[in-house]
Structure 1
Amino acid sequence: MSAFAKWNLQFIGGQWREGRSQTVYTDQNPYNESTLVQIRLASAEDVDQAYRAAKEAQQEWEAVNAYQKVAVMEKAAELLKERREEIIRILIEENGASHLKANIEADAAMGILKEAATFPLRMQGKIMPSVIPGKENRIYHKPAGVAGIISPFNFPFHLTMRSLAPALAAGNGVVLKPDQQTMISGGLFLGKLFDDAGIPKGLLNVTVCRSAEIGDAFVEHPIPRIISFTGSTPVGRHIGELCGKHLKRVALELGGNNVMLVLKDADIERAAGSAAFGKFLNSGQICMSLNRIIVERPAYEGFVKAFVERASRLKYGDPRDKDVVVGPLINHRQVERIQKLIDQSLAAGAQYALQGKVEGNVFAPTILTHVTNDMPIAQEEIFGPAVGVIVVDSEEEAIRVANDSEYGLSGAVHAGSIEHGVEVAKQIETGMIHVNDQGVNDEPIVAFGGEKASGLGRYGGEWALHEFTTVKWISVQLQPREYPF
């Protein structure tokens, strides 16, 4: 029996059972396209039952003592430590993750889980004075209720945990809709993990379903008060519209067109090393991956040479090989999409500095030069192992070009002077930016999120606690109040 055969059931109402859809989905290895497991998808009726189960269980969970909640979250962390090798194997086989990326992802998810385990003891209220004599105002921090979480394929385990652990720890019920392509690492594995940790039955539900079949039912259902979505900007816009229509809170972590600025006094080798990691980790399939590298002319030739040298040394291919850095893209549609962006940019005047081979779903590192900011390779989110290098004649031009994008998620500035780098970073319209580093950074206690078309809200630490809670004001009239009539 395959090691993945057990992941063939939905997790709804505390039970592992078949979905009610007529569609059977085949979960595949993106490198060799072998079948891992098949699952009958969930229907709109299944989603409804999942939300109802979450609402009922949430009332029980909210009443649980904070220290008991902490114990459950800590138990989940213990179980994750025990099952670390299992999730790494799943990420390699289902997500096409390299060993390096899978380990980074497991560590990041553990960090979020440990931080979230502190949340039950941080649901602090306070007493405030009142303008009314004899009254006190009490402010209570409460769970929002039920959250609907939609997670992506690229960092499925971590990006699901980033919403799921804070939502549960803050006292909410959850219905999770993972990307089908990573339904195990982004969904079912987590359902099993928290179920074994001892959460109430029905508190967490995992529904593997197809939006084309259930429509907008997952978002529009009347029970969830919060929708957390990580994915593309077009889908995020649609979800935001639906949440606005139904007056639901929404947290959106969307696409990026992230820049790295290499100023003329930057350490070229250091910048090239940052660029290689920030572009090619997980084959560039990260919302924070570098999409454009903007270089001041005095540093341009040296940077391109050093960057190409580093990128050309990266091993690509089968992610089961521990030396492989660049594994497969999630499916062949992504290969074709990226090649189209490259071809269009070449036709517009870009040139190969490094032309990567395409073997199945594996796209080897590719670098374009003579790129201008209006080319497809610069304007579109690449989400793969290709990047354009843009040369500019001044720092002011670099800043202008960097901001000439509808996105604003992450980025980086390399400069000889750290404080000068910070001053430049302040001028880039983005939610996160890193000096003398690259754009792929995510820490459990720091605010994570974007500006403009890159999203709404913030994850991480106290900001995540805020996203999944609400505030209630209760006033207490301690002494009789005199009214004017």
Structure 2
Amino acid sequence: MNIDFSKQFINGEWVKGSSSKTMQNFNPYSGEELVTFTAGSKEDIDEAYQAAARAQLEWQKELPQKKRAVLEKAIIVMEENKETIINWIINESGSTFKKASSEFGNALNIIREAATFPYRMDGKISPSQTPGKENRVYRNPLGVIGIISPWNFPFHLTIRSIAPALATGNAVVVKPATDTPVTGGLIFASIFEAAGLPKGLLNVVAGRGSEIGDAVVTHPVPRLISFTGSTEVGQHIGELAGRELKKAALELGGNNVFIAREDADIEQAVQSALFGKFYHQGQICMSINRLFVHEKIYDEFAKRYSEEVEKLVYGNPQEKTTHVGPLINEDQVKRLLKDLEDSIAQGATLAVGGKADGNVLQPTVLTHVTNDMPIAANEIFGPVAALIPFRNEDEVVEMANHYPYGLSGAVHSTNIEAATQLAHRIHTGMIHVNDQPVNDEPHMPFGGEKHSGLGRFNGDWVLEEFTTVKWLSVQHTPRDYSGFLENK
């Protein structure tokens, strides 16, 4: 597997970008420069899409066992290079060893699921209302898919689109996030090159969003744009795609709720909320944003939670004992500190943490938070837990559904049926009883409601997203048109 990531990957070749700008990639913890390369340009995007369109015409006709074989070989390449890939995830995205290892495993499961797709391109034969006619429905690839990947789970969330796209007969062009050009794009070019994927089917153009972002969406070749990232950028992409009548699969921001009812098992809820809030520094679209705790157990929960948060190890993500590593860049640290400061000024209490060292923000707990404070109203995307008390279910449902997001959530209770009924009232695409919101399984529908996105990833749902259906009818016996012709 090639590990020189100083070039773009277009039409099966490693080439220098044609932009006048240079991109530098840094380790968010140490500040070490990881790779420097010439950025991709709009011309590179055009060349990549044209190559993808040509290659896709042959790929869609390829036998299912040959498509599957490429994906299975990609799994072997990944397993052979596991240590290298995990180190890149740690160094480039600031992931802890635990998170990077889990992300690698999740990506493998995504490819394993996608490897079944070539045999799941099912059609259908249906009866007709016309005598002598047979109706057939065929499932076909869309053609070319543009992928814009995020920086928080770059390896997992990029392969989540690449693998099913290729498995269903499409070609792809990937534009990775500027903070993670390798693990969000270029490393997959290396993996699939080693796996024997025909040239042109996977292209990776790394460049600044301000220079090539819109071109990825508006280029006439792609029929679907797959984007994972912020709601603001997703709205812009959706608007551009809509003008061109393209499909858009958008997995966007969240303001996810964790609800502990009066009858919750406090110890179980505390442990669940530790993971759901601080896994990958809280830089996950599904991370807990607001912890709603019934007022009757609020003080006890806050005390136990704060005690456990104080035990979390933070700092160097290379250390295998580290729970919380760095945020992706300095801007994220400044944003969070500002929300913390403003929320404390409005009456919140700092119970744990609150200080930053470089890009590492201490695991932080705020109590006595209200639903309108910045730390509750904004998507945190960092290691800050906001604890909000509630009196009854109607109140917590109103607060939970107040903001225009609906990605994931969780409800804790020893009464499973009561928790399930409460979960039904939360307007969200995914929600989990006696667990936390950060869940993703390759065969289950992943996506949000409202401003948290459009469409679903994984399993049958992404197969539906990345394909189209064609109605083809066959008239086996001559059709009687006499009713139309009788007055002739």
TM-score by length of 1: 0.98
Extract unaligned runs of 5+ from structure 2.
none
Q: Distance in 2 between matches of 1:104 and 1:110?
A: 10
After superposition, what is the alpha-carbon deviation per residue over 1:282-318, rounded to whole angstroms, capped at 9, x for unaligned? 0000000000000111110111111111111010000
Number of the residue aligned with 1:320: 318
* Residue identity opposite 2:295 in structure 1: R
Number of the residue aligned with 1:292: 290
After superposition, what is the alpha-carbon deviation per residue over 1:228-251, rounded to whole angstroms, capped at 9, x for unaligned? 000000000001111111100000
Q: Distance in 2 between matches of 1:216 and 1:67?
A: 36
5 Å-filtered alignment, 1:185-264, equals 185-214=183-212, 216-264=214-262
Contact 2:286 2:437 in 1 (8 A): yes
> The residue matched to 1:214 in structure 2 has which SS?
helix
1:34 to 20, 25, 32: 32
> The residue matched to 2:240 in structure 1 has which SS?
helix
Residue correspondences, number: 483
2:402 to 373, 379, 404: 404
Root mean square deviation of aligned Cα: 1.1
Number of the residue aligned with 1:453: 451
Number of the residue aligned with 1:279: 277
* Residue identity opposite 2:296 in structure 1: P
Number of the residue aligned with 2:343: 345
Number of the residue aligned with 2:98: 100
Number of the residue aligned with 1:115: 113
Task: State whether structure 2 residue 423 is matched by structure 1 residue 425.
Answer: yes
Q: Distance in 2 between matches of 1:399 and 1:393?
A: 11
> The residue matched to 2:221 in structure 1 has which SS?
coil
* Residue identity opposite 1:406 in structure 2: P
Inter-CA distance 225–173: structure 2 relative to 1 (3 Å threshold): same
> The residue matched to 1:27 in structure 2 has which SS?
strand
Extract unaligned runs of 5+ from structure 1.
none
Inter-CA distance 298–4: structure 2 relative to 1 (3 Å threshold): farther
> The residue matched to 1:36 in structure 2 has which SS?
strand
After superposition, what is the alpha-carbon deviation per residue over 1:376-412, rounded to whole angstroms, capped at 9, x for unaligned? 0000001000121000111221111111111100010
Number of the residue aligned with 1:366: 364
Q: Distance in 2 between matches of 1:198 and 1:422?
A: 47
5 Å-filtered alignment, 1:54-133, equals 54-133=52-131
> The residue matched to 2:179 in structure 1 has which SS?
helix
Q: Distance in 2 between matches of 1:455 and 1:166?
A: 19
Q: Distance in 2 between matches of 1:391 and 1:122?
A: 47
Q: Distance in 2 between matches of 1:290 and 1:214?
A: 33
Contact 2:2 2:190 in 1 (8 A): no
Number of the residue aligned with 2:145: 147
Q: Distance in 1 between matches of 2:480 and 2:326?
A: 73
Contact 1:149 1:163 in 2 (8 A): yes
Deviation at 1:355, TM superposition (A): 2.2
> The residue matched to 2:222 in structure 1 has which SS?
coil
Q: Distance in 2 between matches of 1:449 and 1:378?
A: 22
Task: State whether structure 2 residue 133 is matched by structure 1 residue 170.
Answer: no
Deviation at 1:141, TM superposition (A): 0.3
> The residue matched to 1:149 in structure 2 has which SS?
strand
Contact 2:254 2:407 in 1 (8 A): yes
TM-score by length of 2: 0.98
Inter-CA distance 60–425: structure 2 relative to 1 (3 Å threshold): same
Deviates further, 65-74 or 39-48 = 65-74
Deviation at 1:480, TM superposition (A): 1.0
* Runs of at least 4 residues off by over 6 Å: none
* Residue identity opposite 2:180 in structure 1: T
Q: Distance in 1 between matches of 2:410 and 2:297?
A: 16
Contact 1:294 1:398 in 2 (8 A): yes
Q: Distance in 1 between matches of 2:88 and 2:23?
A: 17
After superposition, what is the alpha-carbon deviation per residue over 1:251-293, rounded to whole angstroms, capped at 9, x for unaligned? 0000000000000000001101011100000000000000000
Deviation at 1:214, TM superposition (A): 2.7
After superposition, what is the alpha-carbon deviation per residue over 1:296-348, rounded to whole angstroms, capped at 9, x for unaligned? 11110111111111111010000011100100000010000000011111111
Contact 2:133 2:477 in 1 (8 A): yes
Q: Distance in 2 between matches of 1:220 and 1:213?
A: 13
5 Å-filtered alignment, 1:16-35, equals 16-35=14-33
Deviates further, 396-405 or 48-57 = 396-405
Q: Distance in 1 between matches of 2:221 and 2:111?
A: 25
Deviation at 1:62, TM superposition (A): 0.5
Contact 1:284 1:385 in 2 (8 A): yes
Identical columns (%): 55
Contact 1:4 1:36 in 2 (8 A): no
> The residue matched to 1:474 in structure 2 has which SS?
strand
Number of the residue aligned with 1:267: 265
> The residue matched to 1:247 in structure 2 has which SS?
coil
* Residue identity opposite 1:288 in structure 2: M
Deviation at 1:364, TM superposition (A): 1.1
Deviation at 1:215, TM superposition (A): 5.2
Number of the residue aligned with 1:470: 468
Contact 1:60 1:200 in 2 (8 A): no
Contact 1:5 1:37 in 2 (8 A): no
* Residue identity opposite 2:111 in structure 1: L
Inter-CA distance 215–180: structure 2 relative to 1 (3 Å threshold): closer
Deviation at 1:4, TM superposition (A): 9.9
Q: Distance in 2 between matches of 1:63 and 1:73?
A: 16
Q: Distance in 2 between matches of 1:172 and 1:214?
A: 22
Deviates further, 51-60 or 394-403 = 394-403
